[in-house]
Amino acid sequence: MRYITEDVKKMAELLRQGYTMLNLSCPVCKNPVFRNKKGERFCPICNRKVIMIEEKKATQTKLSKTSDKNHQEIKSEMMFSDFDNSDKLDSLEKIIYKNIDLFTNKLQNETQIDLIEKYIDILLKLIEVILRLKKIK
C-alpha cells in the first residue's frame, strides 16, 4: 500500500527521539497522536496540532467505560461534532460522491496494479465516510 511504510518510519523515528505515542487517534487520518517534549499533541502524518477541547476530554473518558459498539458511536460523534448543520453534511456527502465517481472512472482505465490498489483503498475509505454520515443523519 501507499504510505504505510513511510508513515510507520516517521512514527518510529519520533519514538526514537523521545516523543510519546498516545492512545488517541487523529480525527482526520485515524493514525496515533503523539506528544512532543513540550506536551503538545500532534499528528505526525497530517502534520497538524491536535487540540483537545474540555468537552471532548469528558467524552474520551466516557469512551473507556463503554462497550466497543458504543465506543465507535461516540467516536463518530466526536469526529463530526462540528457538522451539526445538515446542510453541511449534505454538502460533504455530495463532495464525497463526486470523489467516488472520480476514482471509479480512474479505476476503470487503470492497468497498473499498484494504482488499482490505491484507488480501491481510497474508494473503500470514501464509502466508509458515506456510511458514517448516514449514521449521523
The β-bridge partners of 25 are 32
Residue 78: pLDDT band with limits 50, 70, 90: very low
Rounded to whole angstroms, the Cα distance separating 114 from 116 reads 5
Q: Work out whether strand 32-35 and strand 48-49 pair parallel, antiparallel, or are unpaired.
A: unpaired
Q: Which tens digits make up the pLDDT trace of 96-131?
A: 889 888 888 888 888 888 888 888 889 899 888 888
Alpha helices in the chain (DSSP H): 4-16, 54-64, 68-79, 86-109, 113-136
